[in-house]
Amino acid sequence: MASRESDQLAKVFAAARERYTNQTLGLDTIRDISDAMADRVGKEPEGVTYAEVDAGGVPALWCIPDGCDDESVLLWNHAGGTVVFSMYSDRKVAGHLATAAGIRALALDFRRSPENRFPAQQDDVEAAYRWLLSQGYRPDRIAAGGHSVGGNFAVSLAIRLRDQGMPLPGAILSVSAWYDIELKNPTLKTHAQTDKVLSIASLSVFRESWLAGTGTKHNDPRVNMLYADLAGLPPINIYFGAHEVLVGEIREFAERAKAAGVDASLHGVPGGQHLFLLGAGRVPETDAAITEMGEWLRAKLERSV
């Protein structure tokens, strides 16, 4: 049974969805609603300093816990289907994760769609990674992470780097990731009543905003991680909320990663919604998962020290 706090988070998500799916609202208003909701549900992490930075041409936000390891970093990609949210809406999530891991986090503000379509977002993520390397960070001390579409970008970054012969990050943290742009997994329907954030309709809008007019097919391995070659990727830690519509494709991705020889682990959060990470500091299930993620990141990034 989910905690009272988890149930309350689901109610907040449901109320926000009722507002941002109102067809009479413009994109700017929808973005404001989404940002306000994200700021409301999470608790500010203690002892974290924030500083804006230009990360190779990409706006970004350092999240620096007191006394953290300055030589390791989590490169964090926010949620929002490439349309909503920002580095500010994910500030608290990144701060809690950084605190749990005892490292810095760099939350990216990659370009959003429909103003900027594919591959602008992935280009920004790669540019920020290359910037970290130019700042002296060792690749094996960098973890690529993100949730929702940001979880997709964490994986696609490693694939792009591998295909270019570039050094790969030491680990990937992929949470509630949107991997399947074809929208074909059965849990999109079987979990439609329990997921208070996503639906086939909203995912279709995100997909259109991101890919329309680019000539990119929905099974293109550059955007659809269920078609990507996963061989040679670094260890991947995969989390999902048990109530979200993406459960099926997340499980399928984990199976494909393991079949490709990747050190992949899969964890479900009981009663968890899509975007369950936004409840950091207030929802026990979220905090327990973040503690686990932090321990995993610490172990993977310190193993080569």
Q: The tokens 């329990």 sit on which residue? A: 194
Q: Which of 148, 156, 174, 176 is catalytic?
A: 148
- Which pLDDT does position 283 carry in this prediction? 98
Hey, how many other C-beta atoms are within 10 angstroms of the C-beta on 259? 11
Q: Has 148 been annotated as catalytic?
A: yes
Confidence of residue 214 (pLDDT cuts 50, 70, 90): very high
Q: Which of 34, 113, 274, 285 is catalytic?
A: 274
Distance of CA 200 to the CA centre of its chain: 19
Q: What's the one-letter identity of residue 228? A: A
Kindly report, residue by residue over 35-74, the tens digit of the pLDDT. Answer: 999 999 999 999 999 999 999 999 999 999 999 999 999 9
CA distances from 110 to 10, 51, 69, 304 (A): 27, 16, 25, 30
Contacts of 88 (CB under 8 A, 6+ apart): 35, 39, 61, 109
Confidence of residue 302 (pLDDT cuts 50, 70, 90): confident
Q: Has 244 been annotated as catalytic?
A: yes
Q: What's the one-letter identity of residue 124? A: D
Expressed as residue numbers, the domain containing 52 is 4-302
Q: Specify the DSSP class assigned to residue 288.
A: H
- The CATH number that applies at residue 175 is 3.40.50.1820
pLDDT cut 90: percent of the chain above it: 95
Q: Has 134 been annotated as catalytic?
A: no
Question: Three-state SS for 152?
Answer: helix
Hey, how many other C-beta atoms are within 10 angstroms of the C-beta on 39? 14
- Which pLDDT does position 19 carry in this prediction? 80
Q: Which of 126, 244, 249, 285 is catalytic?
A: 244
The model's pTM = 0.97
Least confident of 4-18, 19-33, 141-155, 189-203: 19-33
- For the chain, what is the domain count? 1
